[in-house]
Amino acid sequence: MAGTVTLSINGLVSHLEVEEDMPLLWVLRDELGLRGTKFGCGAGLCGACTVHVDGAPTRSCITPVGAVAGSKVRTIEGVAADPVGRTVQAAWKEIDVPQCGYCQAGQIMAATALLTSTPVPTDADIDSAMAGNACRCATYSRIRAAIKRAGG
C-alpha cells in the first residue's frame, strides 16, 4: 500500500511517498541514492545490506520500509558521524580489511553495532555478532583484527 513514510536517515528526516512493503534497501538505494548499502542475497542471509535501525543491526533487504516508520536509520554514509563508527572505519583503513569490498559496508555496520553494545568484545562476542555477515574474499581474520583494534 502506498503512503507517506517518515524516517530519519543519517540524521535527516525524510517523508517518502513509497509502497510500505518496499524493502528498506530499495528505498535507500533507489529512492534516496544511498548506494553504499549493498544488495547481496536479498533473503536476509549474507549481511551485505546491514544498516542500523534505532541502533540495531538490521537486514534492510527483508525489512519493509513501513515497518520502520518513525525510526532512526543509519547507513554506511552516516557511520562516521557516530564516534564508534568513526573508530571502526579508521581501524578498517589501518588494517586494510577489504579485498573486493562488496560486503564491507555491512561488515562495518555490524561491527559498529557490536562495539557500541560491547566496547571490548571477546572472540566469542565477535563470532556471534559477525556470524551473519559473509565475505566471499574471506577477509575474516582482518575483520577480527580491525574489530579488536577499534575495541582496544
Residues that bind ligand FES (CB under 6 A): 39-42, 44-49, 59, 61
Q: Output the smallest distance, CB 37 to ligand FES, in A.
A: 9
Q: From CA 50, how far away is CA 129, in angstroms rounded? A: 12
Handedness of CA 126, 7, 84, 135 (dihedral sign): positive
Cβ-based nearer residue to ligand FES, 71 or 87: 71
Cβ-based nearer residue to ligand FES, 68 or 91: 68
Q: Output the smallest distance, CB 133 to ligand FES, in A.
A: 9
Cβ-based nearer residue to ligand FES, 10 or 58: 58
Q: In what order do the strands lie in the sheet with 50-53?
A: 12-19, 2-9, 72-74, 50-53, 56-59
Q: Output the smallest distance, CB 57 to ligand FES, in A.
A: 11
Q: Output the smallest distance, CB 32 to ligand FES, in A.
A: 17
Cβ-based nearer residue to ligand FES, 47 or 151: 47
Cβ atoms < 10 Å from Cβ of 87: 19
Closest to 41 (Cα-Cα) out of 132, 142, 144: 132
Q: Output the smallest distance, CB 60 to ligand FES, in A.
A: 7
Using CB atoms within 10 Å of the CB of residue 20, give its burial: 0 to 12 exposed, 13 to 18 middle, 19+ buried: middle
Position of minimal CB gap to ligand FES = 61
32 SS3 class: coil
* The three grid cell numbers given for residue 143, joined into one nine-digit string: 575483520
Cβ-based nearer residue to ligand FES, 132 or 149: 132
